[in-house]
Structure 1
Amino acid sequence: MRPIDLAREHGLSAQAVRNYDAAGILPPSERSATGYRYYTPLHAQALRTFLALRRGHGHQRAAEIMRAINRGDTDSVYRLIDAAHVALLAERDTRTEVAATLGALSAAAPTQVGGRPLTVGELARRIGVHPATLRTWETEGILRPQRDRATGYREYGPDCVRDAEIARQLRRGGYLLRQVAQFLESLREAGGTDALSAFLSSWQDRLATRSRDLLAGAAQLDAYLTLFGHP
């Protein structure tokens, strides 16, 4: 087969196939007497595998997996695959924890100490972070505490406590500060409940899609490993 023959199946250009070949994503190809590359069903399956893996793993990780196979390093292949599933499981657990936390916070407003707002130290102890972390979150727009008019000290009311609980769970799940800030901003703008429901539903949909993409990639990978072992 020629590069264009592999490309047509996926709506790619022949140059894209050549680029994948040069990047080591396809196994080594041979050339005709006139210098043109030609490919076999093994190369066709390699391209199918890479494109399927890319949906679940991303371009860079999918390329790493293919290069590891093509150099015969199956141990690295399995490690990369396992790491992706471990990361997805961790994110799934984080989503469950966030949903539980938000559900509890929606059911009842956070209890304040003595009926008053919390201080920075009290809130830090409550959620298990360092006070400096709360100040960083404030700088990033995650928290918006009020200030005591007499002392100038920060005061964290129910909304701030809720936001801090959400931030803690999202940060544990690997979310960047700017991502946490963006979510909390949308939550404030939407008024709370609707944004929470939409966020959790969208998150669950992304997890389900990623799981299915990983499964589809694994099916193509298994086919490629079989061909690669018995060309």
Structure 2
Amino acid sequence: MRPADLAREHGISTQAIRNYERDGCLPPAERTPTGYRIYTEQHAAALRAYLALVPAYGRATAATVMTAVHADRIGDALTELDRGHAQLLRDRETLATVREAVGRLTGGTRPAGGATAGTGLPALPGPRSVGEIAHRLGVTPATLRAWEAAGILAPARDRATGHRRYLPSDVRDAELAHLLRRGGYLLDRIAAVLRQIRTAGGSGEPAAALDGWQQRLTTRGLSMLTASARLDDYLRLRPETPRRG
């Protein structure tokens, strides 16, 4: 096969094919005596796998998986996929928590038990520091301060020290902001959603935002299924790839 043959199937440029090979997303191609690349069905399967991994896990992870495969580090490739699935599960659990938080503000039911529903994380009943909230969400304190500057968060200050103190309602807002940020929402949009929630001005706007993110999670999960199938197809064409471990 020529680069154009691989490119045509996916509607991409031949330069993109060469770039993918250069970056290790495709196995090295043999050359003709005159220097032209020779691609095979193995390269076509690798390209299908890589391009399927991108919408499922992102370009960085897709490249990491493929380069690990080509270095015969199958365990490392599978670990990267595991991380993606774990993140998807955390997003689903956080979404359930935020839905319940929105429901409480708009007249829904209160969660049972001593943990934050859907996350497995302990509830935070008292004031917490910016560092504790950042650790809980897996972001930096600087990110939380940026959200505060954008009007998303409004934690109180300790009168004696001036330090930020996050109450349970602030934690809820931070969790919702984190979820929507991961869904691609801009800070001003997130601030608008939270203003509606704080004023209990109706559940339509927050519900629409959360429904949109739910659909994104479903789409990502389905993309992961497709990517797994394409990657398996490619691995079966690599006789040196171990099928276990």
Same fold per superposition (TM over 0.5): yes
Distance 1:170 1:19, change over 3 A: same
Alpha-carbon distance between aligned partners in 1 of 2:153 and 2:98, rounded to the nearest angstrom: 17
Distance 1:189 1:96, change over 3 A: closer
Task: Tell me what 2:238 maps to.
Answer: 228
Task: Tell me what 1:157 maps to.
Answer: none
Distance 1:132 1:74, change over 3 A: closer
Mapping of residues 1-231 of structure 1, within 5 Å: 1-107=1-107, 126=125, 128-130=127-129, 136=145, 138-143=148-153, 164-170=170-176, 175=181, 182-188=189-195, 191-229=201-239
Alpha-carbon distance between aligned partners in 1 of 2:176 and 2:94, rounded to the nearest angstrom: 7
- Aligned-partner residue type, residue 173 of structure 2: A
Shift of 1:142: 2.0
Contact 2:57/2:84 (CA < 8 Å) preserved in 1? yes
Q: What CA deviation, in whole Å up to 9, does each residue of 1:9-41 have, x standing for no partner? A: 001111111111111110111000111001110
Alpha-carbon distance between aligned partners in 1 of 2:51 and 2:148, rounded to the nearest angstrom: 42
Shift of 1:170: 3.0
- Aligned-partner residue type, residue 25 of structure 2: I
Which stretches of structure 1, 4 residues or more, deviate above 6 A after TM superposition? 131-135
Q: TM-score, normalised by structure 1?
A: 0.75
Contact 1:94/1:172 (CA < 8 Å) preserved in 2? no
**Is there any run of 5+ residues in structure 2 with no aligned partner, and where?**
111-123, 134-143, 157-166
- Aligned-partner residue type, residue 98 of structure 1: V
Aligned-pair identity in percent equals: 38
Shift of 1:96: 0.4
Contact 1:90/1:173 (CA < 8 Å) preserved in 2? no
Shift of 1:92: 0.5
State the Cα RMSD in Å.
Answer: 3.5
Alpha-carbon distance between aligned partners in 1 of 2:59 and 2:83, rounded to the nearest angstrom: 15
Distance 1:74 1:174, change over 3 A: farther
Corresponding residue pairs, total: 205
Decide which structure has greater helix share: 1
Alpha-carbon distance between aligned partners in 2 of 1:17 and 1:207, rounded to the nearest angstrom: 29
Alpha-carbon distance between aligned partners in 1 of 2:66 and 2:236, rounded to the nearest angstrom: 14
Alpha-carbon distance between aligned partners in 1 of 2:60 and 2:130, rounded to the nearest angstrom: 37
**Is there any run of 5+ residues in structure 1 with no aligned partner, and where?**
111-124, 147-160
Contact 1:53/1:62 (CA < 8 Å) preserved in 2? yes
